Chain A
Amino acid sequence: SYELTQPPSVSVSPGQTARITCSGDALPKQYAYWYQQKPGQAPVLVIYKDTERPSGIPGRFSGSTSGTTVTLTISGVQAEDEADYFCQSADTSGSSYVFGTGTKVTVL
């Protein structure tokens, strides 16, 4: 089955930049989406269609893509950004959705 691979964890100091990668063979053909999940809460969409930001999401969140890898960048990380982050996309047929393995962002 199709998989999206993320690093298990990323640590960053306040004010620095966090970059979270997501790799998958179908990513050149399918859009990627990013969700933030804080403990005990439902996921929240922070990036859609690789690079777009929903209304209400701070400008420090951005997305980029290169080949089979997409990246979520959090610039000027704040303590409130400490959370789990999941990428999501579809398989090559577009008929099945898949989530990435998840990355825990720790703000030191």
Chain B
Amino acid sequence: EVQLVQSGAEVKKPGESLKISCRGSGYSFTSYWIAWVRQMPGKGLEWMGIIYPGDSDTTYSPSFQGQVTISADKSIRSAYLQWSSLKASDTAIYYCARRWYPVDAFDIWGQGTMVTVSS
């Protein structure tokens, strides 16, 4: 079965760092781009950026450039989203999603990781 499994919910304080993960299975992990998508409480979906695990080529949304870092480790079939200094406004559910090439849709989604930032 093709799936993306994300790491569990996190509760952090403002200023702390965090790295969440997304592990792919059931397909060639290095052949498909992985995107990260934010959903703030009660709000819509926002595309944050995308990485190609084969060579770690990465593109960020202008809205998130400099705010987060996207990375991947193909040896363990995982993509990552990290923050160096969290803010309360980073509270959201974060999804990873596979880009279905060449259709260009996001066809497989992780279950989401809830990140809560509160003092």
**B44 contacts A101, C-beta separation under 8 Å:** yes
Q: B-side binding surface: helix, strand, loop or mixed?
A: strand
Q: Report the nearest A residue to B106, measured CB to CB.
A: A45
B83 at the interface (CB under 8 A from A): no
Taking A42-B95, A42-B111, A100-B44 as contacts, is the C-beta distance between A95 and B106 under 8 angstroms?
no
**B47 contacts A98, C-beta separation under 8 Å:** yes
B105 at the interface (CB under 8 A from A): yes
CA distance A22 to B112 in the complex (A): 25
14 further interface pairs, Cβ-Cβ under 8 Å (given A54-B107, A95-B59, A97-B50):
A31-B104, A35-B45, A37-B45, A42-B95, A45-B100, A48-B105, A49-B103, A49-B104, A49-B105, A90-B104, A96-B59, A97-B61, A99-B37, A100-B44
A102 at the interface (CB under 8 A from B): yes
CA distance A37 to B37 in the complex (A): 13
A44 at the interface (CB under 8 A from B): yes
Within 8 A of B (CB), among A45-77: 45, 48-49, 52, 54
Interface residue count for A (Cβ, 8 Å)? Answer: 24
Interface residue count for B (Cβ, 8 Å)? Answer: 23
Residues of chain A within 8 A of B61, CB atoms compared:
96-97
What are 23 A-B interface contacts by the 8 Å CB criterion?
A31-B104, A33-B106, A42-B95, A42-B109, A43-B45, A43-B106, A44-B109, A45-B105, A45-B107, A48-B100, A48-B104, A49-B104, A49-B105, A54-B107, A86-B44, A86-B45, A88-B45, A88-B47, A88-B106, A90-B104, A96-B61, A97-B50, A99-B45
Q: How many contacts A-B (CB < 8 Å)?
A: 60
